[in-house]
Amino acid sequence: MTDTPAESAKPSFRSDVTVELVKHSAADSDVLWAARVSTAGEQSLEELEKDPERSKGLINFLMRDRHGSPFEHNSMTFFISAPIFVFREFMRHRVGWSYNEESGRYRELQPVFYVPGEARKLVQQGRPGKYEFVEGTQAQQELTGRVMENAYRDAYEAYQEMLAAGVAREVARSVLPVGLFSSMYATCNARSLMHFLGLRTQHEQAKVPSFPQREIEMVGEQMEAHWARLMPLTHAAFNANGRIAP
């Protein structure tokens, strides 16, 4: 038997995602001392006290010629709130990433659900690999919002009914859709984040085009903004060299 669920909260709907930088050890100087140890040995520690701006050419060289390991000696931990379907795409990124997500086995999941905002393009044209998304009509927007909200309400009502009857949370959660919001900590280094951004964001400076789902791109854009403040020289070199991870 599970605990009796609390009085049922009313479902709420949102179209945004949030990304908070909760912990980091990341600076452009991390790239420099990691790179210079190969030729300077213990003297590479001097980079910790120097202005990395003076060595931005080295950072650009490493990025351009794809010497990737110096970009791994840093860490960023993000707290992300997004629909479950976004996290399912996240899990495809495994090298250089660590994840811990809230569990529907151990807590009662809250009724917060994703509904696309008006700016979200709804209509897919073409075929996979060569398709594009275009604006939906007002009628499609209204239909999407109404159908999704009704489905979410029905699913959460079924979830609450099973919990009230003593069904285990890990069983009852099966009726909940992937549009339910979840939260997780995601930890990565600059190299793994660059690989993520190269695939999950569209950018005018990218040499290789990417076609991400908009919702995971929204997460990527916020993560990139945090990273750009921490490592501006590395971020600039990433852009200047076609947004291809080294």
Per-residue pLDDT tens digits for 25-69: 999 999 999 999 999 888 888 888 889 999 999 999 999 999 999
The one catalytic residue among 36, 173, 191, 200? 200
Q: What is the total residue count of the chain? A: 246
- The overall average pLDDT reported for the chain is 94
Please tell me the predicted confidence (pLDDT) of residue 1.
42
pLDDT band, very low/low/confident/very high, at 8 (cuts 50, 70, 90):
low
pLDDT band, very low/low/confident/very high, at 7 (cuts 50, 70, 90):
low
Answer whether 0.85 is exceeded by the pTM: yes
CA 246 – CA 64 distance, rounded (Å): 8
Output the six-digit token pair for 101. 């997500």
Output the six-digit token pair for 132. 């594009």
Q: Residue 21 — φ and ψ, nearest 5°? A: -85, 110
Pairing of strands 12-14, 112-114: parallel
CB atoms within 10 A of CB 238: 28
CB-based contacts of 244, cutoff 8 Å, min separation 6: 66, 198, 206, 207, 208
Output the six-digit token pair for 66. 């794809």
Per-residue pLDDT tens digits for 179-210: 999 999 999 999 999 999 999 999 999 999 89
Known catalytic membership, residue 200: yes
Please tell me the predicted confidence (pLDDT) of residue 126.
83
Contact (Cβ atoms closer than 8 angstroms) between residue 191 and residue 246: yes
